[in-house]
Amino acid sequence: MPEIATFLEPFAPLFRRVQSRHSLERYVTGLLTDLGRKNCDTISAAVAGTSTERLQHLLTDAEWDPLELDAARVRSLLQKSPKDAILLLDDTSFPKKGNRSVGVARQYCGELGKRANCQVVVSAHYVADEPESRAPLHWPVSTRLYLPEEEWANDPGRRERAHVPEEVGFETKPQIALSLVERALEWEVPFGLVVADSGYGDNPGFLKGLEERKVSYVCAVGSTFGVRLPEEVVAAEEAGTPPYKGRGQPPKERPAPLYTAKEMIESVPEEAWRTLSWREGTKGTLSKRVVALRAHRGTGSPHHSTTHRLVSTAEEGWLIGERPPAGVEGETKYYYSTLPANTTLARLTALAHSRWSIEQFYEDAKGECGLGDYQGRRWDGLHRHLALVMLAYSFLMLHSSVTSEERAGGSFSPLYET
């Protein structure tokens, strides 16, 4: 397809050799075919003008940096994307047999819904801040493999065999996600806030990291997520340290009471709940019963002083509760957000449900672009494959049949009209 060659032309300077540039075009073409599985063997058998050896060389020995390719792709996409965006963070898994491929371990596999042998990658994803739209522009920013601690990060032999860089140590998924946020900021991705699921929202270090970076967020949280009431936080601060009575250790200032998200939401009267709709889904209008109240994210016990390492009280934000519509059974869900006090409930609800774009990316990239089909064992080979998959997916997004008029009043202009 000449469109693929035109799309790839700006990235050619990142590949020093002519053969690497040719292999780039052949590999991306193969990722865009309707092959059931997309790896060096199947692509070379289906796409003319290449071979398994040439494609493997592209993924392991050719001179190019996948991070540089990601950055160049993001710069190109930003020129054609709305300036108001949301950064979505999530992870996905690839079931694998054996245990020699980098990062493969027995861990929770979302694709299978259970613990199994798999690789897990964490991703950052751009989506236009149009949460009510059925088709907002969205594309991947960057991704990185999660390296299990005992099985991989602390095993020098396996690291060496899989070519894991020395500077890559063990990081939790939330820590990797924060590094992807840093990368997005460095690349000047114009996101106004981060949206993530409870795997990240329930991690205090992750939320603190976003707050330290002055990044607003809307994150799903669990029922035991800790919050403090604003009026009780003020009262505790005004009360200060209890007077010393001359016996034992001097008393220390105590934090305000800590409540769980479930306790707080269940205390809200029924008349405060509202039924809200946020967009049209494939099965009709999406709606829930929603309520929100101002609260401080908090950790720690009232038995500890405010200076104890386990005690923290963040700035005031929103605790959001969500239930199915009247007459429909389902569990209550919870979210926490640092958006300002004047944010509407409708806005909070729509943002909380904007994660579907990254889930769609995972589904489509696995089904259409071979996201989980890499069969090599090396760290560099996997990340090169991921970079090329994201490049192919970005081509599909820009070469879609969606017209610029359908994109937020013409704010999106695709590379090619179809």
Complete DSSP assignment for 375-397: ----HHHHHHHHHHHHHHHHHHH
Give residue 151's pLDDT band: very low, low, confident or very high (50, 70, 90). Answer: very high
Helix 356-368 / helix 379-398 crossing angle, nearest 10 deg = 110
Name the domain boundary from 354, 374, 399.
354
236 or 159: which carries more pLDDT confidence? 159
pLDDT of residue 2: 83
**Residue 109 bridge partners (DSSP):** 114
Owner of token pair 């027995």 = 106
If asked whether residues 230 and 342 sit together in one domain, one would say yes
> Over 60: is that where the pLDDT of 406 sits?
no
* Structure confidence at residue 139 (pLDDT): 96
The answer to whether position 399 is within a domain reads yes
Rounded to an integer, the average pLDDT of 58-84 is 96
How many domains are contained in the chain? 2
pLDDT reported for residue 327 = 76
Helix/strand/coil for 140: strand
Q: d(Cα 369, Cα 28) in Å, to the nearest integer?
A: 9
Average pLDDT of the chain is 90
Residue with tokens 């990658």: 121
Beta strands, E only, 147-204 = 191-196
Q: Which of 131-145, 167-181, 233-247, 290-304 has the lowest mean pLDDT?
A: 233-247
Unique residue bearing structure tokens 């052949």: 26
- Please indicate, yes or no, whether residues 137 and 166 belong to a single structural domain of this protein: yes
Answer whether residue 284 is part of any domain. Answer: yes
d(CA 129, CA 137): 9
The confidence score (pLDDT) of residue 301 equals: 77
Q: Is residue 204 part of a domain?
A: no
pLDDT higher than threshold 70 for residue 405: no
- How do 333-337 and 85-95 pair as beta strands? unpaired
**Closest by alpha carbon to 355, among 47, 88, 2?**
88
362 lies in the same domain as 342: no
Cα of 308 vs its chain's centroid, Å: 31
Q: For 369, phi and psi rounded to 5 degrees?
A: -125, 10
Q: Which residues, 6+ apart, have CB-to-CB distance to 27 below 8 Å?
A: 43, 50, 55, 58, 388
What's the pLDDT band for 395 if we cut at 50, 70, 90? Answer: very high
- Under 8 Å between Cβ of 44 and 51: yes
Q: Confidence band (pLDDT; 50, 70, 90) for 309?
A: confident
End-to-end Cα separation, the chain, in angstroms? 14
* pLDDT, average across residues 52-56: 96
- For residue 401, the model assigns a pLDDT of 39
* Alpha-carbon distances, residue 330 vs 148, 203, 284 (angstroms): 34, 25, 18
Are residue 88 and residue 130 in the same domain, yes or no?
A: yes
What is the structure's pLDDT at 282? 63
Question: Which of helix, strand or coil describes residue 42?
Answer: helix
pLDDT band at 328 (very low <50, low <70, confident <90, very high): confident
Binning pLDDT at 50, 70 and 90, where does residue 402 land? very low
Residue whose structure tokens are 């596999």: 109
User: What proportions of the chain, in percent to the nearest 5, are helix, strand and coil?
Assistant: 40, 25, 40
Domain residues for 335? 220-354
The pLDDT confidence band at residue 200, using thresholds 50, 70 and 90, is very high
Q: Environment class of residue 131 by beta-carbon count within 10 Å: exposed (0-12), middle (13-18) or buried (19+)? A: buried
Q: Is 361 found in the same domain as 348?
A: no
The verdict on 186 and 258 lying in the same domain is no
Q: Do 248 and 282 belong together in one domain?
A: yes
User: Residue 209: in which H helix or E strand, if any?
Assistant: helix 204-212
Last residue of a domain, one of 335, 354, 373: 354
310 CA to centre of own chain: 27
**Average of per-residue pLDDT across 120-144:** 93
The residue out of 332, 354, 376 marking a domain boundary is: 354
Residue type, 326: A
Q: Which of 265, 401, 244 is nearest to 334 (CA)?
A: 265
Band (pLDDT 50/70/90 cuts) for residue 222 is very high
pLDDT at position 325 is: 85
Name the 3-class secondary structure at 168.
Answer: coil
Residues 260 and 315 in one domain: yes
Could you report the per-residue pLDDT of 329-387, keeping only the tens digit for each?
A: 889 999 999 999 999 999 999 999 999 999 999 999 999 999 999 989 999 999 999 99
Residue 284 — very low, low, confident or very high, per pLDDT cuts 50/70/90? low
pLDDT of residue 277: 84
Close Cβ partners of 236 (under 8 Å, ≥ 6 residues apart):
253, 254, 255, 256, 306
Cα atoms found within 13 Å of the Cα of residue 320, Cβ hemisphere only: 31
405 vs 83, residue with greater confidence: 83
Q: Which residues contact 183 (CB under 8 A, 6 or more apart)?
A: 124, 141, 142
In a domain, 373, yes or no: yes
